[in-house]
Structure 1
């Protein structure tokens, strides 16, 4: 059975990150410190031989990926693969809204005011479902829509005929996407109240059985 070693990096800090705004399919550029986030991640990964590299089709992910690959000494021959399946959760009409205000709107029907309160009482998937219900257009992704898209992206990686058992793969991801992966595959060992740091590295193993998370937000996953 083929097992791939994923190095999953959250993109560098953007202007919307700075302003505490929801940023899903919407996009804003990396700030200066976000460019530095990418360089630092690239330096940490500079000796890893990547066989493939993936990211979403947002510029914040693509710019982060390009900087990391430029820093890498062993992966000059690979081309970056962009795919909308790896986009962040779509927040519908809440795109660009203050995060705290958005989650208050989502949690109000169940008497909750913050993202953390929703996660504590339910789980991360429930935050998606509640936000879709609160979106007047109901365009925001619910949990089923999110996972159908994202898991198809991981299947694309796993079925890439170029990749063999034990190969290393770079994937540039997003804050809520990483939280969602931690909640679904982390076996209850990972705190999911806050987004991982911009430029943070999480190591995972991908096989037909799913994902195993070894490190998250630069830290080992402890039993």
Structure 2
């Protein structure tokens, strides 16, 4: 009987460190999500300098190439999941990126809420027409003058997007806050889902203007995106941890440049 008691105590003592170790491992589990949010490659409508919001067009050969460069430049970043808007140019870009970096079997989850802004009756119109209409409405002499002012005050983007909605005639355009609300909600849902799955690197492919709007005030510390144009296949790196977002970089073309160099181009 005494031997049995001794063996029982020994067994319990042996299990205690294991139990503590398991609890410690669970308590220190890092569910950080690193989101690589990229703009799509260049399309036919981009090349023709036409408004491309919910209107869509396929990538041009240079658009395919820049997406391939991005994939090669990201080859050292293993993605656990991939998302894109449901517009073809974003979906096509995401597939090219994944294939170029060797993750050919990864599926892409389409999220309509990370679409580009809906420009209503301006869809397919020449960009200078829409932007100059907005500039005059906001009492600037020209689109160029308005853009120069926005470089000094990125907050003017809200006025511009709201003006597009005010001027378009189909009644389906979106204002700034509508775009921001749907996009930020979608990014949070993606981040929470991936955090629950253990965190990791996530690819998200979307659109230039809407990405800037989504990220305009998403950083919990108040950091703002840089003003200016976001190049095709540019990357914004966003960290999600403990329910908060932090903006690490915006409009970063270094991954494309790295991929171009590795490709010998």
- TM-score (norm: length of structure 2): 0.74
Per-residue displacement from partner, 1:111-169 (whole Å, max 9, x unpaired)? Answer: 12325156356522222111111112332100121112111211220232675454110
Whether 1:205 aligns to 2:239 is yes
Matches within 5 A, 1:68-147: 68-73=97-102, 75-112=103-140, 113-114=142-143, 116-117=147-148, 119=150, 120=152, 122-147=155-180
Asked if 2 retains the 8 angstrom alpha-carbon contact of 1:57 and 1:83, the reply is yes
Flag the 1:48–1:161 CA change in 2: closer, same or farther, 3 A: closer
- Greater helix fraction, Structure 1 or Structure 2: 2
TM-superposed deviation, 1:200: 1.7
Structure 1: unaligned runs, 5 residues or longer: none
Separation (CA, whole Å) in 1 of partners of 2:211 and 2:64 = 20
Residue number in structure 2 paired with 1:151: 184
Residue number in structure 1 paired with 2:228: 193
TM-superposed deviation, 1:201: 2.1
Flag the 1:201–1:168 CA change in 2: closer, same or farther, 3 A: same
Computed over aligned residues only, the root mean square deviation of the Cα atoms, in angstroms, reads: 2.4
Whether 1:54 aligns to 2:78 is no
Separation (CA, whole Å) in 2 of partners of 1:10 and 1:22 = 16
Asked if 2 retains the 8 angstrom alpha-carbon contact of 1:118 and 1:127, the reply is no
TM-superposed deviation, 1:175: 1.1
Structure 2: unaligned runs, 5 residues or longer: 1-29, 255-265
TM-superposed deviation, 1:55: 0.3
- TM-score (norm: length of structure 1): 0.86
Q: Which has the larger radius of gyration?
A: 2
